């Protein structure tokens, strides 16, 4: 067995232990209290850091600000198992969430996760979101919050020349620069005049701040907070001027 396979097996055991101790609920962060299903559509679902509440914690200030701005609709493009779609639906009880996910298994998990968290009546799950789909969504929903994780399609999808209504949207965008190194600089330039654009870069994790991990070995602690990134990631957080 190689190191990667051994780490995956150990990570599964870590997931099971955290779920057992915490009742399969997120324990900290903006989505604390959200029930996470054990089902996954991508990789291992990053369930340990999600259960701990430190998943993408660089974005916690942006998520808190987005919630405070109380959008009537949230559009989550690349919803996977529904972490953001369901989390935002719980945090915004007066809002409707449109969750787009190309993976059919992910779509099913997202629907079940919404039901498990009693927000299934406000989370609408669909398939691929292309330029035309987004145009229709923006026509039907005034100034929604866009949470975008579309695996390198950011430049095509987030094009104001195709969808001018994007210029009025709050946006949290994961930039897949390991697919195309021009994504972050191009989007920063594209929204420079219409938005206040914040560059958020992946930062460190401190597994020792979690009481549940303090009796674990160093390797297990780091596996618990690992997000399996291919490189240091960037996000762009954009607020209309």
- Predicted local confidence at residue 226, as pLDDT: 95
What is d(CA 187, CA 195) in angstroms, rounded to the nearest whole number? Answer: 11
Average pLDDT over residues 1-15: 87
Mean pLDDT over residues 14-41, rounded?
94
> What's this model's pTM, rounded to 2 decimal places?
0.96
pLDDT at 29: 97
Here the CATH number for the domain that contains residue 221 is 3.40.50.150
Instruction: Please state, in angstroms and rounded to a whole number, the distance separating the CA atoms of residues 155 and 191.
Output: 12
**Residue 35 scores a pLDDT above 90:** yes
**Overall average pLDDT of the 46-56 stretch:** 97
Strand partners, 74: 97, 145
Q: Count how many domains the chain has.
A: 1
Kindly report, residue by residue over 149-168, the tens digit of the pLDDT.
999 999 999 999 999 999 99
Residue numbers of the domain that contains 143: 3-240
Q: How confident is the model at residue 6 (pLDDT cuts 50, 70, 90)?
A: confident
Other Cβ atoms less than 10 A from the Cβ of 128: the count is 13
Q: For residue 40, what pLDDT is reported?
A: 93
Beta strands in 25-169 (DSSP E): 73-77, 96-100, 123-126, 145-148
CA distance 151 to 77: 10
């Amino acid at each position: 067995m190689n190191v990667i396979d051994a780490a995956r097996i150990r990570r599964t055991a870590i997931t099971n232990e955290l779920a057992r101790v915490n009742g399969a609920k997120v324990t900290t962060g903006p989505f604390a209290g959200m029930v996470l299903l054990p089902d996954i559509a991508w990789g291992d679902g990053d369930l340990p850091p999600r259960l701990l509440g430190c998943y993408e914690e660089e974005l916690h200030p942006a998520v808190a600000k987005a919630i405070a701005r109380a959008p009537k609709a949230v559009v989550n493009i690349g919803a996977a198992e529904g972490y953001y779609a369901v989390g935002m639906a719980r945090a915004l009880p007066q809002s409707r969430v449109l969750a787009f996910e190309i993976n059919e298994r992910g779509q099913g998990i997202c629907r079940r996760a919404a039901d498990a968290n009693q927000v299934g009546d406000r989370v609408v799950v669909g398939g691929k979101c292309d330029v035309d789909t987004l145009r229709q969504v923006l026509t039907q929903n005034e100034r929604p919050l866009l949470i975008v994780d579309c695996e390198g399609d950011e430049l095509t999808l987030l094009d104001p020349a195709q969808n001018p209504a994007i210029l009025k949207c709050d946006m949290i965008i994961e930039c897949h620069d390991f697919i195309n190194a021009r994504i972050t600089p191009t989007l920063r330039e594209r929204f420079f005049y219409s938005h206040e654009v914040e560059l958020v870069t992946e930062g460190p994790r401190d597994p020792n701040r979690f009481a549940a991990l303090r009796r674990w070995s160093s390797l297990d602690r780091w596996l618990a907070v690992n997000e399996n990134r291919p490189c240091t990631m960037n996000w762009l957080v954009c607020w209309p001027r």
